[in-house]
Chain A
C-alpha cells in the first residue's frame, strides 16, 4: 500500500522522469503545484517535462499555482493497479460523494497542462513495491 511518504514521492518522481511518453506530452509543462495526501503536502516542481524537485518544506519560498488535495484513502484507491470506479481519475475523485478531491488555486494552469498532469499522476500506479522504494535515498 502506498504511504505517500518521501521515499514513495521520490520513487514516483523517478518513474515520471524515466517515462518516454511524459517527455512528449510534458514538453511545455512548467509549473509548481501542490499535492495533498491527507495531512501530507508536497510541492512538485516541473520544468519542461521534467520533475525537478519535490519538497515537503512548504514556505513562502515554495509558491504553487494550483493544488490537488484529497484524503489519503482516496489516493490509495487512485494508485491501485486497477483503480475502482469513481477513483480512477482526478475528475472522478473530485466528486463530493466519492473521492472528495479539492482543486484550489489557479486552475487555469491545471487546464492548460491537463494531459501532462494526468499522465504523470497515472504513473503513480507504476511506483515499485515498498522494498525497492526504501533502497533509494530520500531526496524530499
Chain B
C-alpha cells in the first residue's frame, strides 16, 4: 500500500530577537512568492493546513506558516513562568519581520487572520518596504472586549473555555468537522496564551488615528466573514475606508476563521486576491475600496 503523504514539511529556525534566541517551528510547501501565514490568537500554524496543501496556491507561492513563540511547537522564552504574558504590536510585528529575515525571504506577502489580520496594519505602517502585499483577514483598526480574565483562571478549564468561547465565531454553514477541528486547536493552547494574545487583539492594538497614516504603497486586502461578531463586516469596512489603496472584501457564509472553518468557501474569495498579487495589480477594485 502506498502511503498518502502531504507536500508539507516542517522545520525549526532560530530567530534572534531582543536578547532571546527563539526556537521557532514552521511548516512550508511550494515554491514562488513567499506567503507567510499568521495564525489566530491562542492557536498555531495547523490552521493553515488546507492552504499549505492546495496546489492552486503552493504552485505559485512558497506558503509558510509559523508558530509564534508559546504557540504550537515554538517554545516560550526562558523565564516565561514568571511573566504575565501580554502580546504587543511592537513584539508581534518586529518578530514576524525577524522570522522573515531569518528565512531570508524577499519581500514576502503576509496573510494573517484575527490578530494576524490586525498586525497587518502595523506591518503596513512600519514595514512597507519589506513586504509585497498584506492580506488582513478579520481585521479592523480596533477590536475591544476580548481581554477576559476567565480565559486564564484556575477555577475554569482553560482549554474548554478558550475553545468554546470562539466556537460561535464560526458560521453555521461551515462543516462540523472543520469547526470542531478549529475548536480542538483552541483547546490546546498553553495557560494564559490565548488571553495574552487577546491583550494585543483588544487592548494594545488600537489603530484609531493611525489607519489614515498608512501610505498605500503596499496593497492591503481586508477580508471579513459575515458571521464574525468580534470584527464585524461593518468594522472592517470602516477601517478599509481609512486605509489608502486597500480593498475590502466581505465574505458570505463564513466567520472568523475562514482558512480552517471552511477552506473551500474561503478559497473562492482568496484566489482572486492571490492572482492580483501575482499580477502585481496595484489598483484597488470593488466595493468598500479605500481612497
Among all A-B residue pairs, the 3 with the closest Cβ atoms: A89-B168, A92-B229, A111-B150
Partner of B164, one of A85, A98, A115: A115
Q: How far is the CA of A111 from the CA of B150 in the complex (A)?
A: 7
Task: Check if B156 sits within 8 Å of A91, measured CB to CB.
Answer: no
Q: How far is the CA of A33 from the CA of B25 in the complex (A)?
A: 44
Nearest CB of chain A from residue B19's CB, rounded to whole Å: 37
Task: Check if B172 sits within 8 Å of A118, measured CB to CB.
Answer: no
- Count, chain A residues at interface, CB 8 A: 18
Q: Is the interface of B mostly helix, strand, loop or mixed?
A: loop
Which residues does chain B contribute within 8 Å of A85, judged by CB atoms? Answer: 171, 226-227, 229
Interface magnitude class on chain B: 20 to 34
A112 and B229 in contact (CB under 8 A), knowing A88-B168, A107-B150? Answer: no
Number of A-B contacts (CB under 8 A): 52
Asked if B131 lies at the interface with its beta carbon under 8 angstroms from chain A, I say: no
Asked if A46 lies at the interface with its beta carbon under 8 angstroms from chain B, I say: no
Q: How far is the CA of A98 from the CA of B167 in the complex (A)?
A: 18
Task: Check if B161 sits within 8 Å of A88, measured CB to CB.
Answer: no
Which residues does chain B contribute within 8 Å of A92, judged by CB atoms? Answer: 168-169, 227, 229
Q: How far is the CA of A86 from the CA of B229 in the complex (A)?
A: 6
Task: Check if B150 sits within 8 Å of A91, measured CB to CB.
Answer: no
Nearest B residue to A118, CB-CB: B164
Task: Check if A108 sits within 8 Å of B155, measured CB to CB.
Answer: yes
Asked if B208 lies at the interface with its beta carbon under 8 angstroms from chain A, I say: no
Known A-B contacts: A91-B169, A115-B163. Give 7 more (CB < 8 A): A85-B227, A86-B229, A89-B167, A91-B165, A92-B227, A111-B150, A112-B161
